[in-house]
Structure 1
Amino acid sequence: MSLHGAPTSAELIEAVREWIERDVLTSTEGRLKFHSRVAINVLAMVERELEMGERQEADHADRLASLGLADDAEFARAVRNGDLDDRLDDVRAVLRADIDAKLAVANPKYLT
């Protein structure tokens, strides 16, 4: 059950993205066609973030916790202070997983 019911935010975004892909993009050229492609990409990113974001946030928090850290500010401070210099492989693994999660939303093609 959802307070806002149907259609959901994700469904609305998908509908707008599909409309731009089917109707706007195919009937425009030049600058408007370019901006239509940009809008399609932005909406697709929002769709992926809505789909994966909650899980990604939880995974990110788990990765930080594995380093004994509560949040990004603590992580940055620990790196800056050299507190994790003896755990560089762990730090790299956290950063790599975070980058992969960001790419999965921003442009999953870059992961392949």
Structure 2
Amino acid sequence: MQDEPGPTELTKAVADFLREDIAPLVSGHNAFKLRVAINMLDLVTRQLTLEAASDAAEERRVQGLLAMQGSLFELNRALADKIANGELDLRTPGLAEHLWQTTMDKLAVDQPTYAAYRRELERSKLQR
């Protein structure tokens, strides 16, 4: 185990520094490239924060759907194969929910400000 700060704190600190201290000083194409770099650091920070829990939950769901063990990669390969050959479809209990939750978890990392994602988060909160 490493001492603090960890990778999450480090990537967030660099992104915040670039956003708050450097971005106001840069213009033109360099400002665009800086914004891309900040977005990348923000994405990595979200991955470090969210990915382990969402991957573990996804692995448990797929294990339940397939009644088998394996790495998440192997499980997803088997799931895709079963969907492709018609063994599983949206009528399979739990499959649609799994696909939806997996999509939502991926959007939380990749596109957390995406309007449709935000709407769905609000809708799901209201349903609870």
- TM-score normalised over the length of structure 2: 0.78
Distance 2:40 2:90 in 1: 39
By how many angstroms is 1:107 displaced? 1.6
Question: Does 1:17 pair with 2:21?
Answer: no
Aligned residues: 110
Structure 2: 5+ residue stretches without partners: 70-74, 119-128
**Offset of 1:89 from its aligned partner?**
6.0
User: Closer, same or farther in 2 for the Cα pair 1:62/1:30, shift >3 Å?
Assistant: same
1:18-57 equivalences in 2 (<5 Å): 18-57=16-55
Q: 1:5 to 1:86 in 2, by over 3 A?
A: closer
Deviations 1:16-65 (A, max 9, x none): 10111012211101111111111111111111111111100111011112
Amino-acid identity (%): 30
**Equivalent residue for 2:126?**
none
Q: CA deviation at 1:86?
A: 6.8
For residues 1-112 of structure 1, the aligned pairs below 5 Å read 2=1, 4-68=2-66, 69-70=68-69, 71-85=75-89, 87-88=91-92, 90-110=94-114, 111-112=117-118
Higher RCO, Cα 8 Å, sep 6+: 1
How much has 1:66 moved relative to structure 2?
2.4
TM-score by length of 1: 0.88
* RMSD of aligned residue pairs (Cα, Å): 1.6
Segments of 5+ residues of structure 1 without an aligned counterpart are: none
- Distance apart, 1:5 and its partner CA: 1.2
CA contact 2:90–2:96 (8 Å) conserved in 1: no
Q: Which structure shows the higher helix fraction?
A: 1
